A and B are shown apart, each in its own frame.
Chain A
Amino acid sequence: MKKSGNLLSKDGTRSVLATLISILIGLVAGAVIILIVGLCDSKLGLTEAWKGIRLIFFGLLSKGQQAGRLIFGFNSTNIGDMLFRAVPIIMTGLSVSLAYKTGLFNIGASGQYLAGTTASLFIALKMNTAVVSPWIVWILAFLGGILAGAFWGSIPGMLKAFLNINEVLACIMTNWLAANIVTWLFEGSGLQCTEGTKTQVIWKTSHNGVATAKMGLDKIFPDSQQIDGGIIIAIIIAILVYILLSKTTLGFELKACGSNRHSAKYAGIRDKRCIILSMALAGALAGAGASLYWLSGTTEFHWQTYLSLPGEGFTGIAVALLGACHPIANIFTGMFMSTLNVAGSKLSFFTGYNEYITDVIIAVIVYLSAFSLLIKTWLGKRAKKAEEKKIPDVVYTSKNMPEGAKPPVSENTGKEGNEQ
Chain B
Amino acid sequence: MSYLIQQTLIYAIPLMIVALAGVFAERSGIINLALEGIMIFGAFIGVLFVHMCQKHGIFALLPGAANWGSMQLFEILGMVIAGILGSLFALLLGFAAINLKADQTISGTALNMLAPAIVLFFVRIIANQEELRLYKGDAAEWFMIKKGMLGLGEADNFFVNTFLNKVYIATYLCILIFIVCSIVLYKTRFGLRLRSCGENPQAADSLGINVRKMRYSGIIISGFLAGMGGFVYALTTSNCMSNGDVAGFGFLALAVMIFGNWKPLNIALAALLFGLFKCLAAGYSSIDINGDGIKLLYELSKHPTWGKVLNPNFYRMLPYLISLLVLAFTSKKSRAPKAEGIPYDKGMR
Contact = CB atoms under 8 A, between A and B. Distances in A.
A163 B328 contact: yes
Interface in A273-320: 306-309, 314, 317-318
Interface string B311-349: 001101100110110011001100000000011010111
B113 A170 contact: no
Contact of B96 (A309, A362, A370): A370
A169 B110 contact: no
Interface stretch (B9-17, B55-63, B66-74, B101-109): B101-109
A364 B101 CA distance: 17
Interface in B102-127: 102-103, 105-107, 109-114, 116-118, 120-122, 124-125
Interface string A107-123: 10000000000000000
Contact of B317 (A172, A180, A308, A321): A180
Given A168-B33, A321-B106, A374-B100, A306 B313 contact: yes
Contact of A169 (B121, B316, B327, B348): B327
Interface residues on A, range: 35 or more
Contact of B324 (A44, A174, A307, A367): A174
Contacts of B102: 370-371, 374
Interface in B246-273: 247-248, 251, 254-255, 258
> By DSSP majority rule, is chain A's interface helix, strand, loop, or mixed?
helix
B313 A180 contact: yes
A170 B331 CA distance: 11
A156 B268 CA distance: 27
A413 B314 CA distance: 44
Listed from nearest, the 9 A-B pairs whose CB atoms lie closest are A359-B117, A363-B114, A180-B317, A367-B110, A371-B102, A363-B113, A356-B121, A370-B106, A366-B110
Contact of B125 (A164, A306, A354, A366): A354
B254 A366 contact: no
A235 interface: no
Contacts of B254: 169, 172
B92 interface: yes
B184 to A, nearest CB: 26
A359 B254 CA distance: 24
Interface in A62-111: 105, 107
A173 interface: yes
A362 B248 contact: no
A308 B345 CA distance: 37
Contacts of B75: none
Contacts of B345: 414
B245 interface: yes
A247 B317 CA distance: 42
Interface stretch (A6-14, A181-189, A221-229, A382-390): A181-189
Given A105-B105, A306-B313, A176 B113 contact: no
Using C-beta atoms within 8 Å of the partner chain, give the interface range for chain B.
Answer: 35 or more
29 contacts: A33-B121, A105-B105, A168-B33, A170-B327, A172-B251, A173-B255, A176-B317, A177-B317, A184-B314, A306-B313, A308-B245, A308-B247, A309-B248, A314-B109, A317-B113, A352-B125, A353-B125, A356-B124, A357-B117, A359-B116, A360-B114, A360-B117, A363-B114, A364-B114, A369-B110, A370-B103, A370-B107, A371-B107, A414-B348
Given A165-B327, A306-B313, A362-B113, A367 B92 contact: yes
A359 B323 CA distance: 29
A366 B109 contact: yes
Contacts of B114: 360, 363-364, 367
Interface core residue of B317, B321, B328, B332 (most chain A CB under 10 Å): B317
Interface string A12-56: 000000000000000000000100010001001000000000000
A357 B121 contact: yes
A317 B111 CA distance: 13
B313 A183 contact: yes
A418 interface: yes
A139 interface: no
A313 B118 CA distance: 18
A170 B320 CA distance: 10
Nearest to A155: B324
A38 to B, nearest CB: 10
Nearest to A105: B105
A269 interface: no
A170 B317 CA distance: 14
Contact of A366 (B106, B122, B328): B106
A181 B313 CA distance: 7
A7 to B, nearest CB: 25
Contact of B101 (A105, A177, A184, A413): A413
Contacts of B96: 367, 370-371
A369 B121 contact: no
B255 A367 contact: no
